Amino acid sequence: MQEIKANDPKLRSWVEVAPHSDFPIQNLPFGIFRTESQLPHVCCAIGDKLIDLKALHVMGYLENLPFTLEDMVSDSLNRCMRHGKQGMRDLRNRVSKLLRSDMPDLRDKEHHVRQVLFNQNEVQLLMPIKVGDYTDFYSSEDHARNVGTMFRDPAKALLPNWKHLPVGYHGRASSITISGTPFHRPKGQTNASDETMPVFGPSKQLDFELEVAFVTFDGKPLGENISTAEADDYIFGMLLFNDWSARDIQRWEYVPLGPFISKNFISTVSPWLVTLDALEPFRVPGPVQDPEVLSYLKYAGDKNIDINLQVAIKPEQASETIVSHSNYKYMYWNMEQQLAHHTVNGCNIRCGDMMASGTISGPHEGSFGSMLEIAWKGTKPVSMNDGSTRSFIQDGDTVIIRGHAEKNGVRIGFGECSAKVLPSLP
């Protein structure tokens, strides 16, 4: 792995960053923001501020990089991402250099600083990616085992294919929305017994799924595959992902082709694209894969990532209760294997495709990634701080996912992935 200077734990910025901020100079995730008077621009987060890359471009600070002004005045990162892994790495390195406490170029030009820095809480953050195709995997062994145990024979909780390939399905891109977007409880068909007639109405078992997702650059031409060794060159970065699910609708509809309208009504993502480069220092070994995987799924090096994850539920009139502490390092299949499997048949990927991990559950109670598992199919309701209980998500609840990696005094965070559930439309 080539050394990435922007990751040096010793770096400090002349922009003040609070000790537990998700966004120190070692992170510099990319996003899209707009103010009341301006079109959307590309930006990077630093502390509780953001730096406007369009303004930097106009002032000449992005000279000798391949990016045009149009790349920076855009309502998504896709145009920038057309410059590929090296282009985005060079851009992040340049922003890092401009923000370093020992670099006076921008620091000492007060009239420029005033034009490029904005308070995050005074602007609107927009959906950072125009999502092309969306794929959802099912790659946490503990999650797959929990679900298999609940709905099938516990002795055969994992289906025969599970340890031989990263199971996944093609989802819906149009309903992926940015954190802070409320939505109405979905309606659909349910049938509790399979023996009776189905009924139509609001889902009674609305659930979250704690996931992270990665976003890709343009891949190879149709027909060619991406190996596990090549995969990182095609992955831009990651964000937090809530794959909202209506369990009662899912139960009735999913046979034999998998979930459909129980999943496609909305998914929520966090606003900042944290680069894979920023996450490299937090790589850890994955689990031993036994039985041995087929050769196209073999990989070298540490490919899991140690990212602490947390889910909180905030009822309408009460403070939040944390219902899960999990970690992305628990995954059985890593991103590199997921991408290799996705493309081994010649399927092409494109700039802005989004691939979600699948629900991330840990090995013990307290680390499960969905209410289905936390309340164990409704048999163990969870107590909230206000004295109420939850088996699934109620109207008025806000579900908040947070995540960060931390090592050597550096904390790389994602910001919040949050959405409120409103009552069903009539």
Can you tell me the distance from the alpha carbon of 239 to that of 235, in angstroms, rounded to the nearest whole number?
Answer: 12
Query: Which residue do the tokens 């164990």 mark?
Result: 376
Kindly determine how many residues on this chain lie close enough to bind Ca ion according to the rule CB under 5 A.
3
Query: 354-356 and 176-178 as β-strands: parallel, antiparallel, unpaired?
Result: unpaired
| Catalytic annotation present for 143 | yes
Structure-block tokens of residue 380: 């163990």
The beta strand positions in 179-234, using DSSP E, are: 183-184, 187-190, 199-202, 206-207, 210-216
Tell me whether residue 243 or residue 336 sits nearer to Ca ion (CB atom): 243
CA separation (Å) from 368 to 92, 263, 360? 34, 19, 7
Closest CA to 203 of 253, 143, 278, 257: 253
Q: Is 397 in the site for Ca ion (CB under 5 A)?
A: no
Q: Is 136 in the site for Ca ion (CB under 5 A)?
A: yes
Scan residues 274-303 and list those touching Ca ion (CB under 5 A).
Answer: none
- Only segment of 6-14, 38-46, 131-139, 156-164 that touches Ca ion (CB under 5 A): 131-139
Tell me whether residue 27 or residue 139 sits nearer to Ca ion (CB atom): 139
Scan residues 356-375 and list those touching Ca ion (CB under 5 A).
Answer: none
CB of 359 to Ca ion, least distance (A): 5
Angle 130-134-139 (CA atoms, 0-180°, nearest 5)? 135
Scan residues 243-262 and list those touching Ca ion (CB under 5 A).
Answer: 243
Torsion, Cα 15 20 24 26, to 10 degrees, reads 150
Tell me whether residue 179 or residue 370 sits nearer to Ca ion (CB atom): 370
Scan residues 296-355 and list those touching Ca ion (CB under 5 A).
Answer: none
- Only segment of 70-78, 84-92, 237-245, 347-355 that touches Ca ion (CB under 5 A): 237-245
Tell me whether residue 76 or residue 245 sits nearer to Ca ion (CB atom): 245
CB of 245 to Ca ion, least distance (A): 7
Rg (CA), the chain: 22
Tell me whether residue 52 or residue 243 sits nearer to Ca ion (CB atom): 243
* SS3 of residue 101 by DSSP: coil
Pair 361, 368: CB distance under 8 Å = yes
**Phi-psi category of 252—alpha, beta or left, where left has phi over 0 and alpha has psi -120 to 50?**
alpha
Decide: residue 302, CB within 10 A, 0-12 exposed, 13-18 middle, 19+ buried: middle
Tell me whether residue 134 or residue 299 sits nearer to Ca ion (CB atom): 134
Among the listed residues 41, 143, 341, 404, the single catalytic one is 143
- Only segment of 7-15, 34-42, 109-117, 130-138 that touches Ca ion (CB under 5 A): 130-138
Nearest-CB residue to Ca ion? 243
Q: Is 209 in the site for Ca ion (CB under 5 A)?
A: yes
DSSP 282: G
Structure-block tokens of residue 298: 């073999």
- Only segment of 129-137, 155-163, 290-298, 369-377 that touches Ca ion (CB under 5 A): 129-137
Q: Is 207 in the site for Ca ion (CB under 5 A)?
A: no
- Only segment of 49-57, 144-152, 157-165, 205-213 that touches Ca ion (CB under 5 A): 205-213
CB of 243 to Ca ion, least distance (A): 4
CB of 162 to Ca ion, least distance (A): 15
CB of 354 to Ca ion, least distance (A): 12
Can you tell me the distance from the alpha carbon of 308 to that of 322, in angstroms, rounded to the nearest whole number?
Answer: 13
First to last CA, the chain: 55
Tell me whether residue 209 or residue 416 sits nearer to Ca ion (CB atom): 209
CA separation (Å) from 7 to 15, 73, 332? 17, 27, 27
CB of 326 to Ca ion, least distance (A): 14
Q: Is 141 in the site for Ca ion (CB under 5 A)?
A: no
CB of 24 to Ca ion, least distance (A): 30
Residues that bind Ca ion (CB under 5 A): 136, 209, 243
Q: Which residues are catalytic?
A: 143
